[in-house]
Structure 1
Amino acid sequence: MKKQLPALAAFALVAACASRPPVPDDAAGDAFVIERDLAGAHVARGEFKSITGVHRTFTAKLTGTWDGETFTLVEDFVYDDGEKDQKTWKLERIAPGEYAGTREDVVGTARGYQDGRAFRLEYDVVLPSENGNGRKVRFRDVLVKDRGGRVL
């Protein structure tokens, strides 16, 4: 059975930001634990926004599994313009509330932080550019579990 995630806030700030994105005020409820709350099949809506004006919306089918050491999250994206993509996260808990991870397009190691009802994931990706060199950008995703148990 697929779980609906009404809004997966995958707001990617495509720039070097001075501070972490804020946790929404209405995020009361249980702590967000990725191994539990993203396990199984989910459907999400999200968007990428950048300071350069890029704005893309998408639907993602997410499949999460936990083997006791590594949380694997397969993301099947369908962008509203019809483009499709698949990415696979491998996240390992390296300390209480702290994760290190990889994905096929991530430069170096992603860092994840469990922060009460929020999970923050920070990583760099080289995006293709017209000149062929690509542009390294920093992504900062914030996922928040609300009072109803939904992940925003």
Structure 2
Amino acid sequence: MKYLNKVFVLTLCFLLVSCAAPDVEHYQGTSPEFNFKQFFSGKLKAYGVVQDYKGELTRKLVVDMNASWEGNKGTIEEDFVYDDGETQRRVWHITLNDDNTLTGTASDVLGIAQGKSSGSVFHWTYSLVLEVDDSEIEVDFDDWMYLVTQSRLINRTAIDKFGVEVGEVTLVIEKVE
């Protein structure tokens, strides 16, 4: 019986560890170094797709962005155009902190977005109100940005409801010269 208890505890620990998400600190020392203010400055353009919980494509989108800074306070204006003609606008108000963390707010974000960069990676989380079929639902965004070059990054966002992934957004974001 003791043996079975040990096996059960070890199995449970293995399952918990295998479900854990990576920490942004894992990417310390990777390059190119992600500098949020440097990348999100000026005009940017994003191209992306939205997938449902099964991985099926549900939408395509293009986003025009304009980012400006006054010291450690930034504004990122995002204008979304979806393949079905829907448009959306989000304006982020960002505060950069000395320890590579940042906070952000936007009109459709519940509370405050929290983020941190390490090496070539930036990670942040926030809750958002989404309009779906003429109703609003609260979801959590787990947003990972991977800097590929100083002018291009890949952004993968898991969309969760009650801790279960219900969708995913993948974007390629490029600085516009």
User: In the TM superposition, what is the alpha-carbon distance from 1:29 to its structure 2 partner?
Assistant: 3.0
Cα deviation, 1:93-124, whole Å, max 9, x if unaligned, reads: 23411111101100011111112111112110
Partners of 1:113 and 1:100 in 2: how far apart?
9
* Alignment partner of 1:140 is 2:131: no
User: In the TM superposition, what is the alpha-carbon distance from 1:67 to its structure 2 partner?
Assistant: 0.7
**For residue 6 of structure 1, what is the aligned residue in structure 2?**
none
Q: Aligned pair count?
A: 133
Query: Which blocks of at least 5 consecutive residues in structure 2 are unaligned?
Result: 1-18, 155-177
Calculate percent identity across the aligned residue pairs: 27
**For residue 38 of structure 1, what is the aligned residue in structure 2?**
40
Cα deviation, 1:56-112, whole Å, max 9, x if unaligned, reads: 221111111111021211011111111111101111123411111101100011111
Distance 1:131 1:88, change over 3 A: closer
Amino acid in structure 2 at the alignment position of 1:113: K
3-state DSSP class of the match of 2:102? Answer: strand
* Alignment partner of 1:85 is 2:88: yes
Work out which of the residue numbers 113, 118, 126 in structure 2 matches 1:110: 113
**For residue 79 of structure 2, what is the aligned residue in structure 1?**
76
> 1 or 2 for the larger relative contact order (CA 8 Å, sep ≥6)?
1
3-state DSSP class of the match of 1:35? Answer: helix
Partners of 1:59 and 1:32 in 2: how far apart?
23
Bigger Rg, structure 1 or 2:
2
Normalization by structure 2: what TM-score? 0.64
Normalization by structure 1: what TM-score? 0.73
Amino acid in structure 1 at the alignment position of 2:50: F
Between structures 1 and 2, the one with greater strand share: 2
User: In the TM superposition, what is the alpha-carbon distance from 1:151 to its structure 2 partner?
Assistant: 1.7
* Alignment partner of 1:51 is 2:53: yes
Distance 1:147 1:122, change over 3 A: same
Partners of 1:42 and 1:131 in 2: how far apart?
30
